[in-house]
Amino acid sequence: MDQLYPLLCVPHCQPRIWGGRRLAELYGKALPPDEPIGETWEVADLPEGHSTIGNGRWQGAALGEVVAAWGGALIGSAWPAGRFPLLVKLLDAQDDLSVQVHPSDDDCARLFPTHHGKDESWVILHSEAGSILHGAVEGQDWERFAAALAADRALDCLRRVEVAPGDVFRVAPGTIHALGRGVVVLEIQQPSDSTFRLYDYGRGRQLHLEESRQVICWDSSPEPRALPRPLPATWGGRELLVDVPAYRLERLRLEREATWSIDPRSVQCLTVLSGRGRLAGADLTLSPGRTILVPAQLGRVTITPDEPLTVVLAGAGGVPLAEAC
């Protein structure tokens, strides 16, 4: 195996009917011309699309090639061998997305063996008076919702939440949800594209009502936002955003040079939200919208901010990510 180093990710662009060009405007993404791009898959190792590597010996290679070569030294011991264990995206909702729901791993094992479970979280990056749908209003069940669908009143049954940059939402499997127009998010999820569509604003695309009926959870939490929990850090701010079996998310606000140990159980996906800086030993500039993969067995990472820098780290559930050396 060749020497490990941090990997700069080059995203795979996904056209969507609800997408636009804002990811180029906000983050300088090189989008294909004349297409509404709804998603850039910053870290992806799926049959439906893969990201590539933008630096070093593996420049130009698909992420899956590096996973095959480096194995556990890249992804860590907490994950099963195989494809890369997370999917990281930027989403630009220029129009309302379809109302949908995702199955869990257990749902797929029992009911949908060709699908994969999908637990995801959103960090709101940009909002133009935007909102999301997250869960159902109190007292809903499938019979009431199906009647509302038939009467074209499905949205009346769902909880609408106004959002602002910095808000965090976990979308657990079984949660009815949708992004509203004017919202840009960072999405971290299990590596799955399994989506059951419930309502699509008359766009004519296929719906998956029976599949949705079997996986929807009607009990919505009273507070849909994830509540960040402060964690110890000497170089600025560190927050735990989400920690579930599928992944863990931390948000770091770096005001001075920061060094932390890499737990060999998990790769770290580092996405820059704001500010600029440098990743030591890799000749990599950190700028908004960039995602870097830090191999699990790299040992440690040092970041030097050129200005206040905010990043999100994603890794394996239950594994601390930015523990001081």
| pTM given for the model | 0.96
What's the pLDDT at 281? 77
Do 233 and 169 lie in a common domain? no
Do 184 and 275 lie in a common domain? no
Report, as an integer, the average pLDDT of 245-252.
Answer: 98
Sign of CA dihedral 87, 90, 95, 99: positive
Cβ-based neighbours of 92, under 8 Å, separated by 6 or more:
19, 20, 21, 22, 23, 37, 38, 39, 184
DSSP secondary structure code for residue 143 in this structure? H
Does some domain include residue 223? no
What's the pLDDT at 81? 87
What's the pLDDT at 156? 96
Mean confidence (pLDDT) of the chain: 95
What's the pLDDT at 315? 98
Do 203 and 142 lie in a common domain? yes
What's the pLDDT at 221? 75
Residues of the domain holding 118: 7-215
Report, as an integer, the average pLDDT of 233-258.
Answer: 95
What's the pLDDT at 168? 98
2: pLDDT strictly greater than 90: no
Do 112 and 178 lie in a common domain? yes
Write the DSSP string, 85-98: S-EEEEEEESSPPP
Does some domain include residue 107? yes
With tokens 């004349």, the residue in question is 34
Does some domain include residue 137? yes
Does some domain include residue 322? no
178: pLDDT strictly greater than 70: yes
Q: Which residue has the higher pLDDT, 265 or 235?
A: 265
197: pLDDT strictly greater than 80: yes
Q: Domain boundary residue among 192, 215, 238?
A: 215
253: pLDDT strictly greater than 80: yes
Band of the pLDDT at 324, cuts 50, 70, 90? confident
Do 12 and 139 lie in a common domain? yes
Do 143 and 77 lie in a common domain? yes
What's the pLDDT at 282? 80
Q: Report d(CA 295, CA 207) in Å as an integer.
A: 39
C-beta of residue 52 within 8 angstroms of C-beta of residue 61: yes
List the catalytic residue out of 16, 22, 197, 253.
197
249: pLDDT strictly greater than 80: yes
Tens of pLDDT, residue by residue over 120-158, are 999 999 999 889 999 999 999 999 999 999 999 999 999
Q: Report d(CA 191, CA 173) in Å as an integer.
A: 13
Q: Where are the alpha helices (DSSP H) in 34-141?
A: 63-70, 72-75, 105-110
Do 192 and 96 lie in a common domain? yes
Give the CB-side neighbour count of residue 158, counting CA atoms within 13 A: 27
What's the pLDDT at 49? 93
Do 272 and 171 lie in a common domain? no
Do 79 and 171 lie in a common domain? yes
Cβ-based neighbours of 180, under 8 Å, separated by 6 or more:
93, 96, 97, 130, 131, 132, 133, 160
Band of the pLDDT at 325, cuts 50, 70, 90? low
Does some domain include residue 115? yes
Tens of pLDDT, residue by residue over 211-223, are 999 999 998 777 8
Q: Which residue has the higher pLDDT, 323 or 308?
A: 308
Q: Domain boundary residue among 181, 215, 249?
A: 215
What's the pLDDT at 235? 86
Do 177 and 267 lie in a common domain? no
Q: Report d(CA 311, CA 269) in Å as an integer.
A: 10
Do 260 and 124 lie in a common domain? no
Do 207 and 275 lie in a common domain? no
Report, as an integer, the average pLDDT of 73-102.
Answer: 96
What's the pLDDT at 265? 97
Q: Domain boundary residue among 215, 245, 270?
A: 215
Residue 161, Cα to own-chain centre: how many angstroms?
19
Question: 300 an active-site residue?
Answer: no
The H or E element spanning position 142 is helix 142-150
- CB environment 157-193: b (16+ within 10 A), e (fewer): bbbebebeeebbbbbbbbbbbbbbebbbbbbbbbbbb
Report, as an integer, the average pLDDT of 244-273.
Answer: 97
3-state secondary structure of 314: strand
Does some domain include residue 147? yes
Report, as an integer, the average pLDDT of 228-232.
Answer: 95
Domain count, the chain: 2
Q: Report d(CA 270, CA 285) in Å as an integer.
A: 12
Cβ-based neighbours of 61, under 8 Å, separated by 6 or more:
52, 53
Kindly report the CATH number assigned to the domain that includes residue 266: 2.60.120.10
Does some domain include residue 321? no
Does some domain include residue 236? yes
Band of the pLDDT at 268, cuts 50, 70, 90? very high
Q: Report d(CA 19, CA 94) in Å as an integer.
A: 5
